[in-house]
Amino acid sequence: MDRATFACSTAFFRDYSSSSHTAFCLPTGHVDFIEKVDSFTYSDFFRDYLIPNHPCIFSAKFTEGWGSRRNWVTWDGKPNFDYLLQKFGEAIVPVANCDVKEYNSNPKEQIPFKEYINYWNEYIRNDYRSSRGCLYLKDWHLSRAFPEEDVYTTPVYFTSDWLNEYWDAIGVDDYRFVYMGPKGSWTPFHADVFRSYSWSANICGRKKWLLYPPGQEDYLKDRQGNLPFDVTAPSLQDSNIYPRYTQSQPPVEILQEAGEIVFIPSGWHHQVYNLEDTISINHNWVNGCNVAIMWCFLQDELAAVQREINEWKDPMDDWHLQCQLIMKSCTGIDYKEFYNFLKVIAENRISILENGLDDEALAKNTPKAAISTLGMLHAVFDLKRTVKVLTSLSANEDFKKLDLTSLSPPPEALLHHLKAAIDTALL
């Protein structure tokens, strides 16, 4: 990306930086289709989709070089079970039962991949019926389990990925997934983890997406404030259960074909169906454009926990710590880890701005190489967004009530270093 073009994108974003929330608007039912790889730049995506938080679809041309599209698919566009078994047969994979509701999701079990493929073949032969129900392989961390496999390359549009940059750095988890499921498998109504962005590429098969812009989900809640499990259920028409449903807009509907990538913006609730036997690759990610939304989500989650256990506030000496522990068990992160998340992201960018990147590091597939590829102005943009969120976190009363002595460097020192690095970079 050229410096001038990114500078325009950065200037465009300044209009949004004074608020913690972005205004969302989209022509009813309209989703842009990006056809050509050569004529669509990172700056285009940044300006037209990341900043305004709009969905879009990338054509199959963006994935045609992927190893998974060559090897995981038969000549007639079906999953290549023989190849998949040869490569991954002994792996243990997470499988959800789409026919069973457990709280507000589908129950999962861990089974051998070869057992799942045997089930899938039998399910197809039995006209897509089974006494075991409709099983859907979901949230499989294949890239982490098989890093040497030639599966895909993350498109440049999605490489400013703070979630995976952080979790790779601490070596605990990642947010890169493979999904495989028969015709009729589906994912219930939800918004993505931390209200992150997501991208989903169909290796084979077709999907139908039902998307609701942020705020529309409020009209879909029942009288107890719960979201529906299935947004197409007839019970939503019952005003005694869902009193505001008639005020909701129809969902934005996407039909995703083989090879295409769907970009799902931050905080958009959605429900997804596999219309054919389908394999997809999915990432969740956060960056400077939506980290403020992640921070707002965490504050809302903590407030919900505090309301739930408010009666124990006086008799419990470590009530604030217990709230953090409960929030982490529900969301996967607490305030202190969120600080460390921001710290890792900031320090990677400060290192590049202060020391540059040698040719050997650039040749490797590392977070710092990805940062450098996007350009120094992008690193500055990231740091500016980090400063805003870190300033808010440091001033947060719930954060200040925690034992912060284990944080290194202290928040004030990190903020000072961030601001100094930005000032130096802009000289």
pLDDT tens for residues 66-111? 999 999 999 999 999 999 999 999 999 999 999 999 988 999 999 9
Domain range for 372: 290-426
pLDDT tens for residues 112-138? 999 999 999 999 999 999 999 999 999
Tell me, yes or no, whether 226 and 353 share the same domain.
no
Per-residue model confidence (pLDDT) at position 365: 65
Nearest alpha carbon to residue 375 among 165, 159, 169, 155 = 159
Token pair for residue 146? 């098989």
* Helix boundaries (H) for 155-216: 162-170
The answer on pLDDT for 362 being more than 80 is no
d(CA 271, CA 104): 13
Mean pLDDT computed over 12-31 = 47
Tell me, yes or no, whether 266 and 222 share the same domain.
no
Token pair for residue 401? 């009530």
Prior bond of 107 cis (ω within 30°)? no
The answer on pLDDT for 317 being more than 60 is yes
Tell me, yes or no, whether 154 and 93 share the same domain.
yes
Give the pLDDT band of residue 3 (cuts 50, 70, 90).
very low
The answer on pLDDT for 185 being more than 80 is yes
CA 169 to the chain's CA centroid: 18
Tell me, yes or no, whether 125 and 167 share the same domain.
yes
Q: What angle do CA 154, 158, 162 make, to 5 degrees?
A: 105
Mean pLDDT computed over 254-275 = 98
Give the pLDDT band of residue 20 (cuts 50, 70, 90).
very low
Residues 27, 52 contacting (CB under 8 angstroms): no
Mean pLDDT estimate for the chain: 91
Contacts of 52 (CB under 8 A, 6+ apart): 22, 24, 25
Instruction: Count the domains in the chain.
Output: 3
Per-residue model confidence (pLDDT) at position 414: 97
Per-residue model confidence (pLDDT) at position 11: 42
Ramachandran region of residue 267, left (φ > 0), alpha (ψ -120 to 50) or beta?
left
Mean pLDDT computed over 358-375 = 70
Tell me, yes or no, whether 122 and 138 share the same domain.
yes
Q: What is the pTM of this model?
A: 0.92
Tell me, yes or no, whether 220 and 201 share the same domain.
no
Q: Which residues pair with 201 in a beta bridge?
A: 261, 281
Per-residue model confidence (pLDDT) at position 104: 85
Q: Residue-wise over 297-335: b if at least 16 C-beta within 10 A, else e?
A: bbbebbeebbeeeeeeeeeeeebbebbbebbbeebebbb
Give the pLDDT band of residue 22 (cuts 50, 70, 90).
very low
Mean pLDDT computed over 155-177 = 95
User: What percent of the chain stands above pLDDT 90?
Assistant: 84
Per-residue model confidence (pLDDT) at position 373: 81
Domain presence at residue 229: yes
The answer on pLDDT for 18 being more than 90 is no
Domain presence at residue 22: no
Per-residue model confidence (pLDDT) at position 368: 72
Contacts of 259 (CB under 8 A, 6+ apart): 59, 60, 61, 62, 63, 64, 69, 201, 202, 203
Tell me, yes or no, whether 227 and 336 share the same domain.
no
- CATH number of 200's domain: 2.60.120.650
pLDDT tens for residues 283-299? 999 999 999 999 999 99
Domain presence at residue 361: yes
Tell me, yes or no, whether 203 and 226 share the same domain.
no
Nearest alpha carbon to residue 118 among 141, 99, 95 = 95
Mean pLDDT computed over 230-239 = 97
Tell me, yes or no, whether 260 and 382 share the same domain.
no
Per-residue model confidence (pLDDT) at position 21: 36
Contacts of 142 (CB under 8 A, 6+ apart): 88, 91, 149, 151, 176, 177, 178
Contacts of 96 (CB under 8 A, 6+ apart): 105, 106, 107, 108, 135, 136, 137, 138
Number of residues that this document lists for the chain: 427
Per-residue model confidence (pLDDT) at position 6: 38
